[in-house]
Amino acid sequence: MATGKNIRTWFDGRWQEGDVAVMRAADHGSWLGTTVFDGARYFEGIAPDLDRHCARVNRSAEALMITPSVGTDEMVAIVREGLAAYPKSAAVYIRPMYWALDGGDLGVVPKPGSTGFAICLEEIPMAPETSATTLTTTRFRRPVLEDAVTNAKAGCLYPNNARMLAEARTKGYGNALVADALGNVAETATANVFMVRDGAVFTPVGNGTFLSGITRARHIANLAADGVEVHETVLTFDDFHAADEVFLSGNMSKVTPVTEFDGTHYQHGPVTKRVRELYWDWAHSAA
């Protein structure tokens, strides 16, 4: 089900208008969930880190034993061809995706070289700078690599994320602050997370239970270049209760201020605002 409008689909070697059907009932991806995707953003006439998102979808495919069939440079060129149909004022979600077509060993392991590929462009507005969210805890946790393909942006991981988000919504909150297997903070149900204390920025260290996002890495680099102290470290829920500011980092909205975590309230503070300014300045300078 589409969440935006003005959809264009690259499939079967060409751009097509609309939300085109791309999978069959017997495709391995349909019945065994071997699907991966990535998400880049086009806004204000630019597509920051598009090449990195295209490269990551190929790495995700390999992690799920799906043979990548489109090189990064070729994928970037296809996306840019599709984006040419949109005005510069449009905000577009860019979603390249792979799925396995056939099964090999016992039908369970994807057959090498049997790959479906598509790109979906979907016009979805960027969230306004003041659009904030709230956080609560959830009984669901992030898995480890021994349990799930946590080194891929895989569709099969998202039902667990959906459980987290649904639980948070039933409690009256916008999102869930999620623990790893050891009970330390990993990320939220839908995005990476940062906190600010005494002017320094902290974010959970990448430990293999969640994807350390491309936008997350940009924020860390931008902050460091701006002279802000950034720590990737082990963080607990108590650390977040003691924070001065909290914000989320994801490709969909780039920076989302958090105003509450289970009764602890935060300001939409100066560091969170600076992170957004730094990202927009970097994105336009790199275009």
Lookup: tokens for 79 = 């996306």
**Structural domain 5-123, CATH architecture:** 2-Layer Sandwich (3.30)
In order of 29, 83, 101, 143, the CA distances from 108 in angstroms are 11, 36, 11, 21
Low-confidence ranges of the chain (pLDDT < 70): 1-2
Contact 279, 251 (CB under 8 A): no
- Paired strand residues for 177: 188
Q: What is the pLDDT of residue 123?
A: 97
Q: What is the pLDDT of residue 2?
A: 67
- Asked, colleague to colleague, whether 5-123 and 133-286 share their fold, the answer is no
State whether residue 174 is helix, strand or coil.
Answer: coil
Query: What is the CATH code for 133-286?
Result: 3.20.10.10
For the chain, which residues make up each domain, given as ranges?
Answer: 5-123, 133-286
pTM for this model (two decimals): 0.95
CA angle 270–266–182, rounded 5-degree value: 110
Instruction: Quote the pLDDT of residue 24.
Output: 96
